[in-house]
Amino acid sequence: MAKNIYTEPSRTLMEYRLLPGLTTEKSTLFKVSLKTPLVYSENNPDKYHLNMPIVSAAMQSVSGVSMGIELAELGGVAFIFSSQTASQQAGMVRKIKKHKAGFVEPETVHSNMKIRELVQLAREKGFKTFPVVNNNNVLLGIITKNDYDHTVHGDLKVSERMIKKRNMTVGVDIDNIKEANAILKESHHSVLPIVDENGCLKYLVFRKDIRNHLNNPMEVVDEKKRLLTTAAINTHDYETRVPALVEASVDILAIDSSDGHTVFQGNTLKWLKKNYPQLPVIGGNVITGEGFDYLVESGASAVKIGMGGGSICITQEQKGTGRGLATTIIKVTEARNQYFKKTGKYIPLIADGGIVNAKDIVIALALGADYVMMGRYFSRMDESPTEKVTINNQVMKPYWGEGSARAREWKELRYNHLKFVEGVEGFVQYAGKLRDNLPETLSKIMASMSSVGVSTIEELHEKAELEVVSALSIREGNVHDIYMPQNDSKYNTIDWGN
Ligand code: IMP
């Protein structure tokens, strides 16, 4: 006889609808904020947040460099997949960190270097602007590709071609991007070196990067204005993978596992707490209050929840383990709220797997999640790291689970003991650019929150009223009993949409 047999069925997000509340001037669409905590941070609760409640899944077919850059610029983050070598993954993190950073820690050169050597260095590094410093890192000047011609000046020294400090505009001890922008605007230059009060070089700020920051008001960044970068790890090779990711300046880690309620994950979290106490780590996935408590007590700063619901997932069929995502959120939220009452620590919950569109997202949030993770949704976009294919005259992109045979090909020993797969490989309809899709999704979430009469996700948690719907009322809620000559697949049974 089992220890517990629950006869109440577990429920999915599809089975719930939100009841509207009073919409006021304070909760009109344009007043709604989608800001949400990313992980618990002890000394500064606002240190890590998202500007939209959506992140992309740590999957080979979803989250690479392009997704990492684009999503962070739009206010979310992509979890760079761990099913690759640590050095490949760290390389991806580094590329996102280096992308249009606000305050760039520059590669410097010495004034007696030959222009020929500089040309070689520029080729190797892939950039062409170098500050010139002395042995004490004191700024002497700057040299860019406009200052020499390698066919003519190869034998000259950098000091003979550089722009000298006295002819440049230099910022002293500035750490505010707006202030740097104001100086650059007046300066006629495209780059601003920032030095400390002793004249030692700290950063470069590029005009084009500032423009990029100003064009992306929702972007999420670290204290040096570099894009926030998150990556997955596993419970097998963390002792070598984590140092490589930290070296690449990763901000937050997530332990990637379909079942996170294990001592292996507990041990990984404890090792991280001991060796990297300042690095926030998301634990998961769990689907019970006990699982939540275990991960948080082991050191998790946020907990990812859900099992068996992913579009490519066959965990439930293969192992018989799992729970409907709505029930998972309800149960784990109860544990999270109790933990908050007991300790004062608010641990964000991430609903993961099977979330299709805006209505699923807002229902997951209303039930208690702080943000959601999606794979299939993002795999359809230009920014996912896969090539488009045409199948039956439809443009598609491949999408495969991390537990599928395809994803497991990379590993050396990780899954060698498993004799079965937990995920499948298929195709999703190509959807275009992320920037052309996300606004529609976000606007639906905001419209829904406005209907409920709330303007923040925190308020949604407090005020939302939800109701289970019958199969017939779901049918009633769909298009029915009309003839649509240009039958738009968007409203057909497969929901490809946003
Ligand atoms: P989707 O958004 O419905 O496509 O689900 C994505 C989520 O499915 C991921 O964030 C993972 O939690 C989960 N997942 C990814 N790969 C697999 C797999 O191969 N088997 C089971 N679950 C998976």
**Each residue of 292-310: pLDDT tens digit?**
999 999 999 999 999 999 9
* Token pair for 212: 């990029």
CB contact set of 95 (below 8 Å; sequence gap of 6+): 65, 68
Lowest mean pLDDT among 27-31, 285-289, 484-488: 484-488
258 Cβ closer than 6 Å to some ligand 1 atom: yes
Residue 132 has what pLDDT?
Answer: 96
What 3-state class would DSSP assign to 233?
A: strand
Per-residue pLDDT band for 389 (boundaries 50, 70, 90) equals very high
Mean pLDDT in residue range 368-397: 97
Mean pLDDT in residue range 205-222: 87
pLDDT digits (tens, 9 = 90+) for 269-288: 999 999 999 999 999 999 99
Residue 461 has what pLDDT?
Answer: 98
Residue 45 has what pLDDT?
Answer: 80
CA of 158 to the centre of ligand 1 (A): 53
Residue 317 has what pLDDT?
Answer: 85
Tokens 């905590």 belong to residue = 37
CB contact set of 392 (below 8 Å; sequence gap of 6+): none
Q: Whose CA is nearest to atom 8 of ligand 1?
A: 310
CA of 353 to the centre of ligand 1 (A): 5
Q: How far apart are CA 445 and CA 105, in angstroms?
A: 38
CA of 144 to the centre of ligand 1 (A): 46
Amino acid at 66: S
- Tell me how crowded residue 259 is: count the other CB atoms within 10 A of its CB: 18
Residue 422 has what pLDDT?
Answer: 86
Per-residue pLDDT band for 485 (boundaries 50, 70, 90) equals confident
- Tell me how crowded residue 21 is: count the other CB atoms within 10 A of its CB: 15
- Residue 70: C-alpha distances to residues 78, 239, 261, 378, 381 (Å): 9, 30, 32, 11, 11
By most ligand atoms within 8 Å of CB, the mutation choice from 67, 77, 257, 313 for ligand 1 is 313
Residue 395 has what pLDDT?
Answer: 97
What 3-state class would DSSP assign to 493?
A: coil
Residue 138 has what pLDDT?
Answer: 95
pLDDT digits (tens, 9 = 90+) for 178-192: 788 889 888 888 899
CA of 89 to the centre of ligand 1 (A): 19
Per-residue pLDDT band for 463 (boundaries 50, 70, 90) equals very high
Residue 408 has what pLDDT?
Answer: 81
Mean pLDDT in residue range 100-122: 88
Total-model pTM: 0.87
Question: Do the beta carbons of residue 95 and residue 76 sit within 8 Å?
Answer: no
Q: What domains sit in the chain, N to C, each tagged with a CATH number?
A: 13-100+219-490 (3.20.20.70), 104-206 (3.10.580.10)
Mean pLDDT in residue range 319-332: 96
CB contact set of 398 (below 8 Å; sequence gap of 6+): 61, 379, 386, 387, 389, 425, 426, 427
Distance separating the N- and C-terminal Cα atoms of the chain: 44
- Residue 65: C-alpha distances to residues 256, 373, 384 (Å): 18, 17, 9
Per-residue pLDDT band for 59 (boundaries 50, 70, 90) equals very high
Residue 112 has what pLDDT?
Answer: 94
Q: What share of the chain is helix, strand, coil (3-state, %, to 5)?
A: 40, 20, 45
Tell whether omega for the bond before 51 is within 30 degrees of 0, i.e. cis: no
The mean pLDDT of the chain is 92
Residue 370 has what pLDDT?
Answer: 98
Question: Do the beta carbons of residue 309 and residue 325 sit within 8 Å?
Answer: yes
Q: What length does the chain have? A: 498
Tokens 């959120």 belong to residue = 329
* Token pair for 463: 């005020």
* Token pair for 197: 């009060």
Residue 490 has pLDDT above 60, yes or no: no
Q: What are phi and psi of 356, to 5 degrees?
A: -100, -45
422 Cβ closer than 6 Å to some ligand 1 atom: yes
Task: Indicate which residues carry an active-site annotation.
Answer: 313, 414
CA of 240 to the centre of ligand 1 (A): 25
57 Cβ closer than 6 Å to some ligand 1 atom: yes
Q: Chain centroid to CA 18: how far?
A: 27
Choice between 66 and 420, residue whose per-residue pLDDT is larger: 66
403 Cβ closer than 6 Å to some ligand 1 atom: yes
Pairing of strands 465-468, 16-19: antiparallel
59 Cβ closer than 6 Å to some ligand 1 atom: yes
315 Cβ closer than 6 Å to some ligand 1 atom: yes
Amino acid at 130: F
H-type alpha helices, 126-230: 150-153, 158-161, 177-187, 207-215
DSSP letter, residue 374: E
312 Cβ closer than 6 Å to some ligand 1 atom: yes
